[in-house]
Structure 1
Amino acid sequence: MDEHTISFIGTSATDFATECGIIMRNICPMNYHTWESVPEDAKTLMYEKLEGKFELLRTNTIFMEYVNARLHAQWKRTRGKWSEHWKKNGGKTNPQLARSKRKSDCPIQEWNHLCDYWELEKTKENIIAHKQAALDELNSKGITITTTMEHQLEKEAIKSVCGRKKTIQSAWEVGVGPVLRKKDSWMKSVAESSQRDSSENESLRNKVIALEAKQKRDKEKYERCLSSLAQSFQTLKAQYP
């Protein structure tokens, strides 16, 4: 380690990068899709593995920032290589085939996590594109799109896209949400995004109707009270002229 730059240089830097790659492939959980979201205990384990071959100044903040940056770079590089392998083997057109062609240096559990993520990301893109195409068509005809209409278009887009992807269809029912796999839970928010606005508007309308009904009942009660008082007054007036 270079004492002036507080980093590894030369062959040490190469060896350090190589070891980071090995640790990343064998230890780092890939079901977290940003480096910041990787748990600290997982990162600590990676530091400990590095300490077996390199001197890590764990108390030196600047040096540990360097180590973290190198691990982050290797994390991006590793995921990028695996993603390219998935795409090269038909991930965007035949995800099941791509899943079956796991990259040899990727543990099977991590590969399945990543394939799930990539497949859903592609499906989400298709749903958004399908919905936008439907919106554009209605706009071109001069049709005013209401919140309810937009919600319906989202449901139709989900049903259309997922119907072409049996692996997703088995875990999704429009208007119900994920029924088998938790990893499909993002779809529920896609379908509910505009439904929430519609529900809020409906709730507000119901409150207005309820207030109007209450106002009407109060008015009728007030009128009955006035009528009763008038009758009582007439009775008293007749008894005591």
Structure 2
Amino acid sequence: MHECGYFLRNNYRLQYKEWRHVPIEFRLPLRHKITTLFEIDVENAEVCKVIDSYLAKAWRGYRSKLHEDFKQIGGLEDPTKAKTTPPSNVSKEDWEYLCDMWPETKYKENAEKKVKARAQRKINSKNGSKSTIHCHIERGLDLESSTGQIETWRLTHWDAKKGWISTDAAAKYEKMMNLRNEHPVESMSDKSIIETVLGRSSVRLHGWGRDPSWWMLTMI
């Protein structure tokens, strides 16, 4: 994660609304730079998903830091003036793009929604800063499999000595298992069940992607 952040800060492109809009032409060189330090198979799709999740987190974190700098120099009150004082390691073009984006009404509304959503999360996990996908991979499981994700979620919210981290987590798991027992894997995967019970924005599923069967269920 540290090296991803380092490469990103020194080879970044900031003129995109979100990481998902960053073109593959920009991501590929970053992946290959990482291979200069680590033995990584960048031709493996699952490995690339993990790398991209780290790059996305580093990209968002760096932009968040720049946003704080922008606010500290009075950018919200006078964006034009803020444009004249870009950080030393940010290009003039990138900085002007960000200074125009941050004061936008739509951007501020989306930011407020995200803050409220994070505040409303009731279920924490015991895996700290480690993502759910990282825990899933450590278990030696395939990211594209239809089963196994529910068990990964359970292991990040339950402890052999202390039990469930909350009564709410226990109740959510019970709902997941009820759905698992009611629906065959072919019609409803573990990922679909987790999204149904928790909601896509309420659980850390970085890199798991939305399951095709989930879309079919929402259209029924």
Q: Which is higher, the Rg of structure 1 or of structure 2?
A: 1
Give the structure, 1 or 2, with the largest relative contact order (CA under 8 Å, sep 6 or more). Answer: 2
TM-score (norm 1): 0.41
**What is the TM-score when the length of structure 2 is the normalising length?**
0.44
Greater percentage in helix? 1
